[in-house]
C-alpha cells in the first residue's frame, strides 16, 4: 500500500463546534470513507494508510454514537450492524437472471458465432464481442434507487432469489451510494448484476481458521463465498472477506445513452461499481478464442478463481434481436476452461458393495488436490470401463473432477509405467461373502445376489432407517454396522426385536442412549405406506415413486397382487419400474420380510398428501423423470441413474411427455429434437451435475 501524508485530515475541535458543523463533519467523513473504500476496494489504489483510514472510521462512529439523529442508512458504519433475521425473504427479479450455455472447444464457439450471423442475417463481416473472465462465485443483483443501495438479492432459480441486502452491505467494494458523475442522469432505478467471490488467499486463511475452530473446511472459494453470503447474521458475513465484479444490468430507468455491453460496463464503472479490468472488447470470434487461451495460461496466477470466459455480443440492438431461450440468451456463451487435472498414483483398486449389491471397483490413490479439493478415491464404475481406459494398479494417472464435482480418473500416463503395474481383474465371487457374482443382461455391473451380504445389508438397513424412509432417529451407518457385526440383526425386521439389554452389551451404549434408540424404533412403527415402500429399497423406487405407488394402491396387499401390466397402466410408471416392483413382490424372502415387519406392529396410515418425506418437495430432482441422450463424459449412465434415484427421482429410457428433463451428453441423439418439439426442458451434463452439488 502507498502511504502518503494526509493533508485534508485535520480533525476540528468538536467540543466547540455547533450542530450544523457536526452534521457537516459527519457528511464529510462519510464521503471521505467511501472515497477511500472505492480507492482501496475497487481501484486497488489506496492513498492513505490503514491507520489513517481507521481514524476516520472511529471518528465517524464516535460522532454517530453521540449524535444518533444523524445516522443514515448509507453511512459506512451501517455496513455491519443489522440484526440477524430468521430467514431470507424472497425477491422476484424484474427481469429474470438467465444462465449461460457452455462451450468447451473452439469449434463450439465458432458454431455459436455462426448461429448469430445466420440469425441476424449478417452475410459477411465480423461481429464485435466482449470477452470477460467468468468469475466462479455467485450471482447477485443489487438495486440502486436514486443512487442509493435499496436491495440486494441472490440469483436463486433465476426468477426468484433471496434478499441478502444486509449481507451485501458488508462488502466494502459495494458502494452504498452511487458516485454519479455530473454529466450522467441519476437513474431512478438501476439493477446492477455481478458476481460475489472470495479471493484465493482469503479463502485459504479463512479455511485454516475454520479448521482451528473445529469447523468443517469449505471445498472451494465459491462455496465459501456462497456460505458467507447466505449467513443469516450479517455480522458474520462482515468478517468474511468477500469481493465483487459487476458484469451487467437488469432494469435501468431511465435507460442511459449506451449502445453496447462495453459501454454498459464503462457506465457501471463510472458510478463506482467495480468491473473486471481483464475484460476486453474483441473484433472477431477468433480474437475471443485467443483471449480464452491467453487467460487459461494466466488463470493459476490470478488472485481469484475463474472457470472460463464469457463471450457476449457487444451491440445491445443485436442482443435484442437475438433474444433468449428459456434459460439462456442466444447472444452470450460461457467458453469453459478444461477441467483442472492433477497427477497421482493408483495405490490399489478396491471393491465396494452397494445397497443393490452392485460391486464397484474404486481407485485408491495417493491424495492429491484437484480444483481445491483433496481427492483420494474415485469410482472406476465397472471392469469394462477399466479395460477401456487401460487403468492398472500402480499407474500414474490424470484425475479431474467431472463437472468440477465428482472425482474421475481420466487416463493412465503410459510413459511412466515401470512394468510393475498390475492389471485389475474382477473376481468371480463377492469380495465379502464369496457368493458368485451375477450380471444382468444389458448391464455392465456385477452384483452380489445375496441380500444379507454384510456391506449390502448395512447399507440397506441404513437406508431403511433414513429420514425419508422409517426415520429412526440416531440409527446411522455406524450403529447399523455395530448391530450387524454383533450378529444382532440380519435384516430390517430384526431391528424391531432389539432390546435395551442387547444394546447395553455394545461398546458406546449407555442406559440413556440405549433407551433412546429403543424409543426411536418404537416411534418409527407408526409410519406411512410410502415411507415403508421407499425404505424397502426396491430397485427404481425412490421417494417420488414410492409416493406414486402408495397413492395408487393404499395398502401393501393390493400392491403385492398387482402385476407389471397393471402397474404400467399408472401414469408415470414405465416397464422397468413395473417389472422391478412386481418381481420384488414375487420373492418369498421379501414377502416373509413384510409379514415379519407387520407382525412387529408396523402400522401404515394412508395420508398421501401429508406423506411427503422431509426436505424433498423443494428438491428439483425429487419426483422428476430424467432421460439421457448422447455419451456422458463425467460419469456413466448407471452412476447418473443412481444419483437421480438417491434423490427420489426416476430415470426413464423412452421419450414421452412425462419426461421432465432431457440430459444431453456429447453427440446427443434424435431424442434431443423430439424433446425440443415436445417442450421438454433440456439440460447439459454439467447443469445436471449442478443439481447434485
Q: Hey, which residues are catalytic here? A: 134
Q: At closest approach, how far in Å is the CB of 617 from ligand IVH?
A: 25
Decide: 137 and 198 in contact? Cβ < 8 Å. Answer: yes
Binding of residue 100 to ligand IVH (CB under 6 A): yes
Binding of residue 535 to ligand IVH (CB under 6 A): no
Binding of residue 275 to ligand IVH (CB under 6 A): no
Query: Which member of 155, 172, 330, 625 binds ligand IVH (CB under 6 A)?
Result: 155
Burial (CB count <10 Å: 0-12, 13-18, 19+), residue 61:
middle
What are the angstrom distances between the C-alpha of 390 and each of 349, 410, 554? Answer: 13, 10, 51
Q: At closest approach, how far in Å is the CB of 132 from ligand IVH?
A: 4
Q: In this structure, what are the phi and psi dihedrals at residue 512, rounded to the nearest 5 degrees?
A: -70, -45
For the window 166-205, what string marks contact with ligand IVH as x by the rule CB under 6 A? -----------------------------x----------
Q: Cβ atoms within 10 A of the Cβ of 591, count? A: 13
Q: Which is closer to ligand IVH, CB of 530 or CB of 682?
A: 682
Q: At closest approach, how far in Å is the CB of 140 from ligand IVH?
A: 8
In the bound state, the residue with its beta carbon closest to ligand IVH is 139
Q: Which of residues 313-342 bind ligand IVH (CB under 6 A)?
A: 329, 332, 334
Q: Which residues of 383-392 are buried (b: 16+ CB within 10 A; e: fewer)?
A: bebbeebebb
Q: Look at the block and give the residue holding cell 449412465.
A: 637
Q: At closest approach, how far in Å is the CB of 179 from ligand IVH?
A: 22
Binding of residue 288 to ligand IVH (CB under 6 A): no
* Residue ranges of E strands in 146-268: 148-154, 160-162, 189-198, 242-253
Binding of residue 135 to ligand IVH (CB under 6 A): yes
Contacts of 679 (CB under 8 A, 6+ apart): none
Query: Which member of 59, 132, 191, 685 binds ligand IVH (CB under 6 A)?
Result: 132
Decide: 122 and 315 in contact? Cβ < 8 Å. Answer: no
Q: Which is closer to ligand IVH, CB of 256 or CB of 329?
A: 329
Query: Which member of 57, 71, 80, 98 binds ligand IVH (CB under 6 A)?
Result: 98
Whole-angstrom Cα distance, residue 584 to residue 561?
11
What one-character-per-residue DSSP string does 242-303 give?
Answer: EEEEEEEEEEEES--S--BHHHHHHHHHHTT--B-TT-EEESSHHHHHHHHHHHHHHGGGSS
For the window 487-506, what string marks contact with ligand IVH as x by the rule CB under 6 A? --------------------
H, E, C per residue of 64-131: HHHCHHHCCCCCHHHHCCCCCCCCCCEEECCCCCCCCCEECCHHHHHHHHHHHHHHHCCCCCCCCEEE
Q: Which is closer to ligand IVH, CB of 330 or CB of 624?
A: 330
Q: In this structure, what are the phi and psi dihedrals at residue 363, rounded to the nearest 5 degrees?
A: -80, 130
What one-character-per-residue DSSP string does 537-557 give?
Answer: T-TT--HHHHHHHHHHH-SHH
Decide: 659 and 652 in contact? Cβ < 8 Å. Answer: yes
Q: Which is closer to ligand IVH, CB of 53 or CB of 112?
A: 112
Cell of 426: 474382477
Decide: 681 and 691 in contact? Cβ < 8 Å. Answer: no
Binding of residue 247 to ligand IVH (CB under 6 A): yes
Cα angle for residues 56, 60, 66 (degrees, 5° grid)? 145
Query: Which member of 42, 131, 139, 536 binds ligand IVH (CB under 6 A)?
Result: 139
Binding of residue 248 to ligand IVH (CB under 6 A): yes
Whole-angstrom Cα distance, residue 380 to residue 351?
10
Strands 526-528 and 603-605: parallel
Whole-angstrom Cα distance, residue 56 to residue 11?
9
Q: Which is closer to ligand IVH, CB of 393 or CB of 681?
A: 681
Binding of residue 516 to ligand IVH (CB under 6 A): no
Binding of residue 305 to ligand IVH (CB under 6 A): no
Q: Which is closer to ligand IVH, CB of 268 or CB of 533?
A: 268
Q: At closest approach, how far in Å is the CB of 39 from ligand IVH?
A: 24
The H or E element spanning position 145 is strand 138-145
Query: Which member of 49, 77, 99, 516 binds ligand IVH (CB under 6 A)?
Result: 99
Q: At closest approach, how far in Å is the CB of 95 from ligand IVH?
A: 10
Binding of residue 36 to ligand IVH (CB under 6 A): no
Whole-angstrom Cα distance, residue 631 to residue 62?
64
Q: Which is closer to ligand IVH, CB of 99 or CB of 590?
A: 99
Q: At closest approach, how far in Å is the CB of 138 from ligand IVH?
A: 6
Q: At closest approach, how far in Å is the CB of 133 from ligand IVH?
A: 6
Window contacting ligand IVH (CB under 6 A); options: 69-77, 132-140, 415-423, 509-517: 132-140
Q: At closest approach, how far in Å is the CB of 649 from ligand IVH?
A: 23
Binding of residue 682 to ligand IVH (CB under 6 A): no
Binding of residue 242 to ligand IVH (CB under 6 A): no
Q: At closest approach, how far in Å is the CB of 342 from ligand IVH?
A: 24
Instruction: Compute how many residues bind ligand IVH; rule: CB under 6 A.
Output: 15
Window contacting ligand IVH (CB under 6 A); options: 130-138, 162-170, 523-531, 591-599: 130-138
Q: Which is closer to ligand IVH, CB of 218 or CB of 335?
A: 335
- Chain residues binding ligand IVH by CB under 6 A are 98-100, 132, 134-135, 139, 155, 195, 247-248, 310, 329, 332, 334
Amino acid at each position: 500500500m502507498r502511504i502518503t501524508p494526509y493533508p485534508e485530515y485535520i480533525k476540528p475541535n468538536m467540543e466547540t463546534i455547533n450542530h450544523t458543523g457536526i452534521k457537516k463533519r459527519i457528511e464529510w467523513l462519510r464521503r471521505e470513507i467511501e472515497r477511500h473504500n472505492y480507492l482501496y476496494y475497487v481501484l486497488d489504489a489506496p492513498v492513505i494508510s490503514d491507520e489513517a483510514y481507521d481514524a476516520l472510521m472511529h471518528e465517524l462512529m464516535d460522532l454517530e454514537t453521540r449524535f444518533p439523529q444523524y445516522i443514515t442508512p448509507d453511512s459506512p458504519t451501517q455496513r455491519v450492524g443489522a440484526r440477524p433475521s430468521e430467514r431470507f425473504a424472497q425477491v422476484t427479479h424484474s427481469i429474470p437472471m438467465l444462465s449461460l450455455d457452455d462451450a468447451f472447444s473452439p469449434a463450439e464457439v465458432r458454431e455459436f458465432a455462426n448461429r448469430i450471423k445466420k440469425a441476424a442475417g449478417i452475410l459477411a463481416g465480423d461481429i464485435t464481442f466482449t470477452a470477460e473472465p467468468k468469475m466462479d462465485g455467485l450471482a447477485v443483483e443489487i438495486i440502486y434507487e436514486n443512487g442509493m443501495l435499496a436491495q440486494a438479492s441472490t440469483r436463486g432459480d433465476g426468477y426468484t432469489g433471496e434478499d441478502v441486502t444486509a449481507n451485501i452491505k458488508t462488502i466494502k467494494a459495494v458502494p452504498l451510494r452511487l458516485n454519479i458523475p455530473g454529466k450522467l442522469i441519476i437513474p431512478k432505478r438501476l439493477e446492477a448484476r455481478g458476481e460475489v467471490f472470495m479471493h484465493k488467499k482469503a479463502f485459504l486463511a479463512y479455511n485454516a481458521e475454520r479448521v482451528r475452530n473445529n469447523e468443517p473446511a469449505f471445498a472451494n472459494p465459491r462455496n465459501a463465498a456462497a456460505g458467507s453470503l447466505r449467513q443469516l447474521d450479517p455480522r458474520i458475513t462482515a468478517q468474511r472477506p468477500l469481493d465483487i465484479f459487476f458484469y451487467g444490468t437488469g432494469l435501468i430507468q431511465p435507460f442511459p445513452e449506451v449502445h453496447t455491453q462495453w459501454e454498459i460496463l464503462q457506465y457501471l464503472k463510472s458510478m463506482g461499481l467495480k468491473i473486471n479490468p481483464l475484460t476486453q472488447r474483441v473484433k472477431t470470434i477468433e480474437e475471443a478464442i485467443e483471449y480464452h487461451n491467453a487467460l487459461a495460461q494466466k488463470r493459476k496466477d490470478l488472485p481469484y478463481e475463474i472457470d472460463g470466459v464469457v463471450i457476449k455480443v457487444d451491440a445491445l440492438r443485436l442482443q435484442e434481436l437475438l433474444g433468449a431461450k428459456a434459460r439462456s440468451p442466444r447472444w452470450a456463451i460461457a467458453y469453459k476452461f478444461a477441467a483442472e487435472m492433477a497427477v497421482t498414483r493408483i495405490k490399489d483398486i478396491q471393491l465396494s458393495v452397494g445397497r443393490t449389491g452392485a460391486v464397484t471397483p474404486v481407485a485408491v490413490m495417493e491424495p492429491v488436490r484437484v480444483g481445491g479439493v483433496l481427492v483420494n478415491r474415485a469410482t472406476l464404475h465397472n471392469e469394462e470401463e477399466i479395460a477401456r481406459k487401460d487403468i492398472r494398479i500402480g499407474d500414474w494417472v490424470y484425475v479431474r473432477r467431472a463437472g468440477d464435482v465428482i472425482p474421475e480418473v481420466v487416463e493412465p500416463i503410459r510413459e511412466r509405467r515401470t512394468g510393475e503395474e498390475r492389471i485389475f481383474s474382477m473376481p468371480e465371487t463377492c469380495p465379502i461373502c464369496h457368493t458368485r457374482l451375477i450380471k444382468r443382461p444389458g448391464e455392465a455391473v456385477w452384483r452380489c445376489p445375496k441380500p444379507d451380504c454384510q456391506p449390502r445389508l448395512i447399507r440397506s438397513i441404513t437406508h431403511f432407517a433414513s429420514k425419508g424412509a422409517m426415520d429412526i432417529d440416531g440409527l446411522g451407518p455406524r450403529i447399523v454396522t455395530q448391530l450387524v457385526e454383533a450378529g444382532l440383526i440380519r435384516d430390517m425386521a430384526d431391528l424391531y426385536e432389539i432390546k435395551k439389554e442387547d444394546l447395553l452389551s455394545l461398546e458406546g451404549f449407555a442406559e440413556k442412549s440405549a433407551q433412546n434408540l429403543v424409543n426411536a424404533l418404537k416411534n418409527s412403527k407408526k409410519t406411512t405406506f410410502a415411507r415403508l415402500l421407499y425404505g424397502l429399497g426396491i430397485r427404481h423406487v425412490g421417494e417420488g415413486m414410492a409416493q406414486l405407488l402408495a397413492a395408487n394402491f393404499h395398502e401393501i396387499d393390493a400392491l403385492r397382487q398387482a402385476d407389471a401390466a397393471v402397474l404400467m397402466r399408472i401414469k408415470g410408471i414405465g416397464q422397468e419400474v413395473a417389472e422391478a416392483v412386481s418381481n420384488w413382490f414375487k420373492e418369498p424372502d421379501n414377502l416373509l420380510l413384510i409379514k415379519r415387519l407387520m407382525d412387529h406392529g408396523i402400522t401404515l396410515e394412508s395420508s398421501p398428501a401429508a406423506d411427503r418425506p422431509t426436505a424433498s418437495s423443494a428438491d428439483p430432482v425429487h419426483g422428476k423423470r430424467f432421460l439421457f441422450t448422447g455419451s456422458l463424459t463425467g460419469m456413466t449412465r448407471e452412476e447418473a441413474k443412481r444419483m437421480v434415484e438417491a434423490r427420489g427421482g426416476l430415470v426413464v429410457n423412452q421419450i414421452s411427455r412425462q419426461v421432465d428433463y432431457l440430459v444431453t451428453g456429447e453427440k446427443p441423439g434424435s431424442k434431443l429434437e423430439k424433446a425440443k418439439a415436445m417442450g421438454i426442458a433440456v439440460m447439459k451434463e454439467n447443469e445436471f451435475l449442478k443439481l447434485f452439488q
